[in-house]
Every structure is written in C-alpha cells, then in structure tokens.
Amino acid sequence: MKKHRTILLEQFKEALTSVMPIAGIVFFLCFTIVPILNSILMAFVVGTVLLIIGMGFFTLGADLAMTPIGQYVGAETTKSKKFWLILFICFMVGSIITISEPDLQVLAEQVPSIQNGVIVGAVAVGVGVFLVVAMLRILFRIRLSYLLIGLYAAVFLFSIFVPGDFLTVAFDSGGVTTGPMTVPFIMAFGTGIAAIRSDKNADADSFGLVALCSVGPILAIMILGMVYQTDGGTYTRIAIPDTENSRQMWQLFQHAFPTYFKEVGIALLPITLFFAVFQMVRRKMNKTQMIRVCAGLVYTYLGLVMFLTGVNVGFMPVGNYLGKELGSLSYRWIIIPIGMVMGYFIVAAEPAVHVLNKQVYELTSGVIPIKAMSKSLAIGVSISVGLSMLRIITGIPIMYMLIPGYLLAGVLSFFVPPIFTAIAFDSGGVASGPMTATFLLPLAMGVCTAAGGNVITDAFGVVAMVAMTPLITIQLLGLYFKFKTKDKDGEKKTESLDVEEIIEL
C-alpha cells in the first residue's frame, strides 16, 4: 500500500506538470485578450484541480489493472487452438472496450442529428472488426505500412460518397476512440499476442494495434453515413456556467458527479464482467494479482469520474467561450498562433499519451526517450491545431489537408524503421483524447460560431487533424534515428531497422 501511495504521488506530480502549462495559457488569455466571467474562471480552476487528481488516479489504475488485463487476455487468447474462437474473442474485446471509452461518449453527445447509441454502436463494431485485422497482422507478420496505406486509400475512396455532415465526424471518431480506456488495454493486448512469437520483430509488431483500430471507426461512420437517415437535429450550443457565488458554482460539480459516477460505472462494467468470466474459465491469475487488478479498477473508476467531471464542467465551457470571443475579434487570425501554443502543451495532459510513451520507452530499453516522443507529439499537435483554426476561419475543406497529410505519412513509411511507423500511427490515436474532445473541439466550435461557419463541416475535424500530424513528426523522428545509424565506414544502412538494431545504437 505504501508503494501505491508513493507511485500515486509521482503520478499527481506528473499530472500537475502536464496540466499547468495549458491552465497558464488560459489564465493569460483571460487577463489580457479575452476577459471572461468570474463564474466561468472559477469553474475552470476547480475543473483543473479535479483533472490533475483524476489523471493521477487513472494512470495508477491503468498500470495496476488495464495493462495487466490486456496482456493476460491477449496471451491466453492466443493459446486456444480454435482459430474462430480467437477471432471472436478479439472482436468482443474490441467492441466492449470501445463502448467503455469515455471520449467516444463525449463526441457522440456533441454530434447533432445522429443518436448517441447509433454512433457508439457503429464505432464499437468498427473497432472490433479491426482488432481482428490487427491480430491477424501480428500472427501472419504482415508489414504494417502496406496495410495502413491500403486501408487509408480505401478510406479516401469512400469519402467521395459520404455526405459532408458525416465526413468530419467519421475522421473525428477514429481519433477519440483510442482514448484513456482503450489505449492501455489494446496496447497491452497486442503485447500479450506478440509474446507467443519468438522472432526478433515480435516486440515491434506489438505496436500498430491502436493505429488499425483507429481506421475501423472511420470506415464504420462513413458506411453509416451512406445508409442512415438523420433525425434532423441541430447543433446545441454548450451551456456556459452563470453563477452568482461559489456555492452555486460548486453545485454545478455536485450535479455532474452522479452523472459521471453512473456513466463511468456503466462504461467499466462490460470489460470488468468480461475479465471476471475470462478469469473463471482460465484461472491463471493468483490471489495477489487479482487484488492488484481490483485495486487498479477502483483507481481507474475514481480517476475517470474526477477527470471527466473536471473537463466537462470546467474545461469545455471555458474552451467554447474563449473560442467565441477570439473568433469575434477583428484580428481573429490570432487564434492560429494561440491554437498552436495550446496544441503544443495540451497533448501533455492526455492520459493515453503517458501510457504510450512509457511502453515505447520500456520496449526499446530507453533508446527512444520519453522526452523525444513528447516533443515530437507536441510539435505535431501544435501544427494540427494551427491548421484547424486556419481551416475554420478560411473555410478550407478538411480533405484538402487530410489527403496530403496521410499521403506524406505513407511515403515516409517506406524510409523509416518499421517500428517508428507503428509508433507514429499509434501516436495519432493517443494524441486525440479527452482533452482534445472537451477543450479543443469546443474551442473550434466557438470560433466557428463567431465566424459564421458550419459547425459540423468546419469545427468538427479538429480531432482528425490532431490524429494526423503525429504520423509525420514521429516518423521524422525515425528518420533522425536512421541517419544516426551508420556503418563503420560511414555508409548509411539501407535496410529498415528493427527494435534490436535500435537498442544496439
């Protein structure tokens, strides 16, 4: 227990370091360019505190529960001699963990015209199908870059036939699906599956599951857009808190807590029941391991409740308000550099980013440093938010940015070590988490509303942009590693590098 407290304090410190820069930017804007109501600012302060505490609890919970469960289920699943059963379990795991993803619920609530259950169901099926594809790739050793290029070619081909109202939502759904619940579980699941292979590329192939599971929701929502008749709903503006005193402001959080206690409980229930049944059948975990997992699930539950309450009550309104005020300025172009600064720092507050960085560091024995990953991700997200704001105020169609971006990412995949391609496409998924859905998306909606644009076609898509640019920056990091690796005679190696070669640097 003492060890847990020590680790928890370290997680709180890391969360504080991650969140304070974006909080500082918001305070700077509030005291200079965009004055806001005290009620909104106080809600943001309380939300920030809850976010920090929630991130600390969640990260510890992911280490104790979600990661071990994923590795356990992945390793045990591949021991079955019934191939159809393996594929069925993969599909069930992918669908169940997606339903548990809070990011998806946040996005679904902000999409007009489409019922929440329809979006969640379509995305869950998409992830389930593509987790099966990801497992087949690992078992049959299919090169990830070839598979991703083919899949994204199909995505852009499908986009020709998809209504505009569904297009941006489809790409955004691919980003939010891989959030704080999905990423630690799926990455650990991949590690468990890859563990049955003894070849030198097994560890490298454990990456890429998040990347493939991000494609499934895009295709699923595109197909949905071709057949689904919307209910004619319209965009509902985010409610801005208007309270007269601190007691009324706190009541906003008091009313929100029961909602998220219930929502997170319902979200965690499917994967908890699945694990319980799996354990009763296989009986591979001992009593000590079970206690750790149960404690981890409690930490995960409490962390997500506090995190989601903080970002939805405190962050979402201030993001939307700042967006509307900045979009109303005569010099609204200033939202582009401001958005880039926000994007640079906000990625550090994404819980799933820390999970990915840690796994990359561990599987490469520290050769790919956490700092290098973090900087590359921050630069990528910064560029993506700047481009998103440019797109909103100019009305540039999103495909004009996504097609060149993914084309460049595909070309880079032929020149970088395969492990960097896998990590890059995984990074695109983890970078677009709850902070993006609850702060950057409302910010974009506010700017779009003030600028007189179409919220569905212009504001939606910021998550997709955040998911795209890390594919380029992380692979550029891979080029840097490749250029550092030379033979003794000074000639560069021409073959791709695997994990073992990177570790030998």
Residue range 128-155, pLDDT digits in tens: 999 899 888 877 878 888 899 999 999 9
Write the DSSP assignment of 224-281 as a string of letters.
Answer: HHHHPPP----PPPPPPP--SSHHHHHHHHHHHHHHHHHHHHHHHHHHHHHHHHHHHH
Residue 215 to residue 229: CA distance in whole angstroms:
23
Most confident of 3-12, 34-43, 360-369, 378-387: 378-387
Residue 503 has pLDDT above 50, yes or no: no
Mean pLDDT, all residues of the chain:
83
- Residue 315 has which token pair? 């962050």
Residue 224 to residue 226: CA distance in whole angstroms:
5
Overall average pLDDT of the 8-13 stretch: 81
Contact between 276 and 354 under an 8 Å Cβ cutoff? The reply is: no
Give the pLDDT score at 177. Answer: 81
Could you tell me the pTM of the whole model? Answer: 0.81
Residue 99 to residue 104: CA distance in whole angstroms:
8
204-260 residue pLDDT tens = 666 788 888 889 999 999 988 888 766 555 555 666 777 778 888 888 899 989 988
**Between 70 and 205, whose confidence is greater?**
70
Residues 6+ away with beta carbon under 8 Å from 206? 138, 187, 190, 191, 193, 194, 363
Q: What are phi and psi of 490, to 5 degrees?
A: 95, -5
Residue 290 to residue 248: CA distance in whole angstroms:
42
Binned at pLDDT 50, 70 and 90, residue 161 comes out as confident
Contact between 203 and 363 under an 8 Å Cβ cutoff? The reply is: yes
**Between 245 and 46, whose confidence is greater?**
46
Q: Using the CB atoms, write b or e for 238-261: b if 16+ within 10 Å.
A: bebbebeeeeebeebbeebeeebb
383-425 residue pLDDT tens = 999 999 999 999 899 999 999 999 999 999 988 888 898 899 9
Write the DSSP assignment of 419-459 as a string of letters.
Answer: HHHHHHHHHHHHHSSHHIIIIIHHHHHHHHHHHT--IIIII
Give the pLDDT score at 1. Answer: 58
Domain residue extents for the chain = 28-485+492-503
Residue 302 has pLDDT above 90, yes or no: yes
Residue 134 identity: A
What is the three-class DSSP state of 492? strand
What is the three-class DSSP state of 113? coil
Residue 364: closest CA among 261, 471, 501, 463:
501
Residues 6+ away with beta carbon under 8 Å from 264? 102, 301, 304, 305, 308
Residue 304 identity: L
Contact between 478 and 385 under an 8 Å Cβ cutoff? The reply is: no
Residue 344 to residue 383: CA distance in whole angstroms:
8
